[in-house]
Structures are given as structure tokens and as C-alpha cells.
């Protein structure tokens, strides 16, 4: 609708009703009849994380840079492979953080 029609309807309603319309328990009765919220199923998230970790581990098992990076990191000797591994892990963590923040912003009751 356009603003002219909205203004005309608003004016007619204001002329007919002097004050607020009493609720008389209408809102409470509607809320009582609404179905309860469904329970969230969390097992797909855990399964997805487990499968993702296993897939990454098996795909990087034979990569020389990954094994060298882990070995150098555990030995306390920084190397190019260690830096590459650290950058890759940090990038994945930042992507996961961005995804979590974008998903949390769509849910009511979660203030960011």
C-alpha cells in the first residue's frame, strides 16, 4: 500500500477508537495454544566435525609439509613447514569463527 492510503486508514481508525483496545486475556490465550519449540538435535554437528577432522587427517597424512611441520613444531624448531601449518590452522580457525558469528547473528536472543 502507499502512504496516502495508509494515512487515510490510520485517520479512520483514530476517529473510531478513542484509546487502546482492551486485551481481556487474548494474548495469553494465544500464547498458551502455541506449540512448544522443538528440541535441537546436536548429533549431526558432532558427526560432521568428526568426519571433517578424520578426512583432513587422512588427506594430510602423506603430505610432506604437514608431517615436517608437526615434527618441527613438536621439536621446538621453527621452520617454513611449521609456519605454513600454523597459517593454515589459523585461517581455518578464523573461517570457523566467522561462520559461527554469522550463524549466531540470525538467532534471536543472542547479542553480539
Radius of gyration of the chain (CA): 29
The vertex-44 CA angle with 41 and 50, nearest 5°, equals: 140
Domain layout of the chain by residue ranges? 64-112
**pLDDT one-digit tens code per residue, 23-62:** 888 889 998 888 887 777 888 888 988 998 888 778 777 7
Residue identified by cell 602423506 is 62
pTM score of the predicted model: 0.44
- Helix (H) / strand (E) element for 56: namely helix 43-60
- 3-state SS, residue 92: helix
Tell me the pLDDT tens digit for each residue of 74-90.
Answer: 898 888 888 888 888 88
- Give the contacts of 110 (CB within 8 A, at least 6 positions apart): 104
Signed CA dihedral, 75, 57, 89, 79: sign only:
positive
Amino acid at each position: 500500500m502507499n502512504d496516502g492510503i495508509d494515512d487515510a486508514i490510520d485517520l479512520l481508525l483514530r476517529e473510531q477508537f478513542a484509546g487502546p483496545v482492551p486485551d481481556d486475556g487474548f494474548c495469553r490465550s494465544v500464547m498458551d495454544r502455541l506449540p512448544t519449540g522443538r528440541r535441537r538435535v546436536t548429533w549431526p554437528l558432532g558427526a560432521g566435525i568428526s568426519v571433517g577432522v578424520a578426512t583432513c587427517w587422512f588427506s594430510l597424512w602423506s603430505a610432506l609439509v604437514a608431517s615436517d611441520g608437526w615434527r618441527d613444531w613438536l621439536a621446538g624448531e621453527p621452520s617454513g613447514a611449521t609456519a605454513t601449518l600454523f597459517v593454515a590452522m589459523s585461517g581455518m580457525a578464523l573461517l570457523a569463527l566467522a561462520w559461527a558469528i554469522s550463524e549466531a547473528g540470525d538467532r534471536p536472543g543472542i547479542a553480539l
